[in-house]
Amino acid sequence: MKSSCMRRVLAAACYCFLFSSLVAQKSIPSGYQGIVMEEGSFTKTPFVKVVFVLEKTDIGKQVTTDENGAYRIDLKPGRYYVTATHPDFETYATAPGFFVVTGKGYHTGNLFLTPKVFPIPPTTVLVLRHAEAGAGDDPGLTAAGEARAQELVHAALHSGVSAIYATQWKRTQETAQPLAARLGKVIVVKNDMDVEGLVGEILSKYKGQTVLIVGHQPTVPMIIRELGGKPIPPIEGHDDLYIVTVYAPGKAQVLHLQYGAGARVL
């Protein structure tokens, strides 16, 4: 009798232990948590859609990262593959079964996304030396120079110029003035030696547009090189017109033309 009673007590105790263990297991949340970051810079990326799909099924569950790039998702035990998508990044995807949920709490899974490379619209820059000028510290154009400035109107009037740049010297501004007047543009004046600043401003403010720059004998090659074009031979006359097409950061194609009366044959 005592033996039978003892067996019942032990059985009840085992049942209670198993039941409490099962309840405890069910009460432990499980899944994955982590941070989604930009590859290389480790910048936390918000609003990324992260999807966990159970291996060998179509059963999926998704979560979106918060403003700090963090996510947490509750998952049943199993093996999962993961995708992460965002408009500015390449899709992140793992092999099936790469993420394993054991049912014993949250595992850490940080994800690293590769930024997309968006093609930029080509920017066209017309670069030329000022027309013929007189002598002195800050000379204006000669009669021949004024005639060439009028020829520039014919050469560039229908090229879609959005902005016209010249240096602080009269000869560059007077070269650009007839075209600026026809187009209703105000000439933007920049220091002749700030080539880097000039090019940076044009490529940021006028991306995908056409801009004309009137420079000087030594600065025109510098401008073309800063735009990404190959080095050009030294400039000799006043009839050179370079059409620089910037198609990628630091990369450009250069077309060399002449304009105006008495243009040289190269």
- Of 22-26, 107-111, 246-250, 259-263, the range with the highest mean pLDDT is 107-111
* Three-state DSSP string of 118-163: CCCCCEEEEEEECCCECCCCCCCECHHHHHHHHHHHHHHCCCCEEE
What is the pTM for the complete model shown?
A: 0.59
Q: DSSP secondary structure string, 50-81?
A: EEEEETTS--EEEEE--TTSEEEEE--SEEEE
Residue 13 has a pLDDT of 46
pLDDT in tens, 45-92: 999 999 999 999 999 999 999 999 999 999 999 999 999 999 999 999
Q: Under DSSP, is residue 214 helix (H, G, I), strand (E, B) or coil?
A: strand
Residue 13 lies in a domain: no
Residue 104 lies in a domain: yes
Average pLDDT over the chain reads 90
Residue 249 has a pLDDT of 87
**Where does a domain end: 113, 146, 163?**
113
Residue 264 has a pLDDT of 57
Find the domain containing 94 and state its range. Answer: 30-113
Does 178 have pLDDT greater than 80? yes
Q: How far apart are CA 194 and CA 219, in angstroms?
A: 10
Residue 103 lies in a domain: yes
**Where does a domain end: 83, 113, 143?**
113
Does 144 have pLDDT greater than 50? yes
Residue 5 lies in a domain: no
Residue 19 lies in a domain: no
Kindly report the CA angle at 60 between 58 and 65, in degrees rounded to 5?
155
